[in-house]
Amino acid sequence: MDLFDKFSKDAGPLGQYQKMAEGYFIFPKLEGELGPRMMFNGKERLIWSINNYLGLANHPEVRKADADACAKYGMAYPMGARAMSGQTKYHVQLENELAEFEQKEAAYLLNFGYQGMTSIIDCLCDKRGRDVIVYDAEAHACILDGMRMTNCKRFSYAHNDMESLEKRLINATRLANEQGGGVLVITEGVFGMSGAVGNLKGIAELKKKYEFRLLVDDAHGLGTMGKTGAGTGEHYGVQDQIDVYFGTFAKSFAGIGAFVASDKYIIDYLKYNMRSQIYAKSLPMPMTIGALKRLEMIRTMPELKENLWNIVNALQSGLRERGFNLGRTQSCVTPVFLNGSVSEATNLALELREHYNIFCSIVVYPVIPKGEIIFRLIPTASHTLEDVEYTLNAFGEVKAKLDAGLYETGSIPKFPDLV
Ligand SMILES: Cc1ncc(COP(=O)(O)O)c(C=O)c1O
C-alpha cells in the first residue's frame, strides 16, 4: 500500500470540511490593516476573531518600531541559533525586561509559542521517565504534544477541579517517589477556548501539602490579566508560586515568538538543553526590538488594558443580559454557546457574515459535542462601544431566528462566491 493512500480515505477532523468551507470558514483571507474592521471576501467586516487584545498590532508606535528595526537589520539578522551565532544585546535586553515584568529571575526567548512549550516540557522532564506530569484535562495542544515527547507517566485532572487534582497528586507523588522522580503540574492561565481562568490560587494552595513544580501556559493571560498585565499569576497574587511561566508574543504582544521565565538556574538549564532553541535559528531582530517596544507600551500605557476590559465587560454583560450562555469565561475570551446542528450553525454564521458583516470564529462538532455551537468572540482594545452595541443587536436577532428554527427551514443568505 502507498503511504499516502490513507489521506484520500480520511482527511482528518478539519480536513473533512475542506471542500465545503475552505476560503470561507477555514483559511478565510482577512485583508487590509489589522484591526476591528478588515476586508473579507470583498466586503468590510467587523472582526471579532483576532487575538490582538491590546490593539497593538496596528498601533503606529509599534508599526514604526518594527519598520525601523527591519530597515536597519532586515529579517535575516541574527543568523544561526542563539548559542552559535544568533546572540545580540537586544535579545538579552528583552529577556531581562521580560524577567523583571514577570517578577522572575530570568527569562529566555522562544521562536514560537507552540514549539517552545513542547520543548520546555520535554526539557524539564526526566529523560528516563522517572518524573510524573499532572495536567488539566482541557490543556492546549502544545501541552499535550510536549508530554508526548517525554517518557514520563502522566495523569489528567478534571478541568480546574482541585479535588481531582489532589487525587492525581496523591498517585503522582507515590509513583514519583517509587521511581525517584519529581512531579510537574501543568495548566493554562487562561483557557483559550472557554475563557475559563486556571485555578492558580487553588493549585498554589496544594503546594503547601504536596511537593510539585508548576508550569503555566499564560498565552491568553499575558497582557490581559493582572494589575500590570503580567498575567494570571499576578491576577491571583500567586506569581511567586509559578515555577515556570510561559507567555507568547502571538496574542497581546501582536507579534510572533514567545518566552519562558523562571529562576535563573532553571533558565540556564533550558538555555543549554532546550532542543527547540538549540537546533533552531534565533528570533529575528525586528521581532526582538519590536517586542521591547510592545513591552514598554504595555508597562507604561495602562489605558490599553483598561480599553480592552471596557469592551470585554460591555460585550459580555450585554450578551448575558440578552440571555446568552457564555459558559465559564472570566477572561477576555468570549464564547457564545448555542444549541443547534452543524447546518444551523453554518447558516447562522453565514447570516452573521453576509447580512451583518460580523466575522467571528465558529466551533462545531467534532471539536465540541454534537448539538452544540460556539461562536468565539475576541474583544480588543481597538473595538468601540458602538461595535459592541451593533454586535449585541445582531446576536439578539440571529438567536431569535435560531430559536424559531429558521436556520433549518427558513430563507438564509446564499453561500457567496469567493472573490
Ligand atoms: C494556550 C496556548 N498556548 C500556546 C499557544 C501557541 O502559541 P504560538 O501561537 O506563539 O505558537 C497558543 C496559541 O494558539 C495558545 O492558545
Instruction: Tell me the pLDDT tens digit for each residue of 261-272.
Output: 999 999 999 999
Label residue 105 by pLDDT band (50, 70, 90).
very high
Query: What pLDDT sits at residue 213?
Result: 98
Higher pLDDT, 205 or 343: 205
> Residues 178-199: pLDDT tens digits?
999 999 999 999 999 999 999 9
Q: Is the CB of 219 under 6 A from ligand 1?
A: yes
122: pLDDT strictly greater than 80: yes
3 state SS of 228: coil
**Which of 53, 120, 138, 140 is the pocket-test mutation for ligand 1 (most atoms within 8 Å of CB)?**
140
Q: Is the CB of 286 under 6 A from ligand 1?
A: no
22: pLDDT strictly greater than 90: no
* Dihedral angle sign, alpha carbons of residues 296, 56, 141, 173: positive
Q: Is the CB of 136 under 6 A from ligand 1?
A: no
Residue 117 Cα: closest atom of ligand 1:
4
Lowest-confidence pick of 144-158, 309-323, 326-340, 405-419: 405-419
pTM above 0.75, yes or no: yes
Buried b (16+ CB within 10 A) or exposed e, 142-168: bbeebbeebebbbbbbebbebebbbeb
> Residues 209-241: pLDDT tens digits?
999 999 999 999 999 999 999 999 999 999 999
- How much distance in Å is there from the Cα of 57 to the middle of ligand 1? 17
Q: How does the average pLDDT of the chain come out, rounded?
A: 95
Q: Which CATH class is domain 5-53+303-403?
A: alpha beta
Label residue 14 by pLDDT band (50, 70, 90).
low
Q: Where are the alpha helices (DSSP H) in 192-301?
A: 200-206, 232-236, 264-273, 275-278, 285-300
Query: What pLDDT sits at residue 365?
Result: 73
> Residues 69-86: pLDDT tens digits?
999 999 999 999 999 999
Closest CA to 270 of 106, 87, 128, 78: 106
> 60-300 in CATH: which number?
3.40.640.10
3 state SS of 169: helix
Q: Is the CB of 376 under 6 A from ligand 1?
A: no
Query: What pLDDT sits at residue 45?
Result: 98
Cell numbers given for 108? 529566555
Q: Where in the chain is the domain with CATH 3.40.640.10?
A: 60-300
Residue 140 Cα: closest atom of ligand 1:
1
20: enclosing H helix or E strand: helix 18-21
Residue 285 to residues 55, 74, 89, 197, 251, Cα–Cα distance (Å): 22, 8, 10, 33, 19
Q: Where in the chain is the domain with CATH 3.90.1150.10?
A: 5-53+303-403
Query: What pLDDT sits at residue 379?
Result: 98
- How much distance in Å is there from the Cα of 178 to the middle of ligand 1? 34
Q: Which residue in this structure is represented by grid cell 468572540?
A: 377
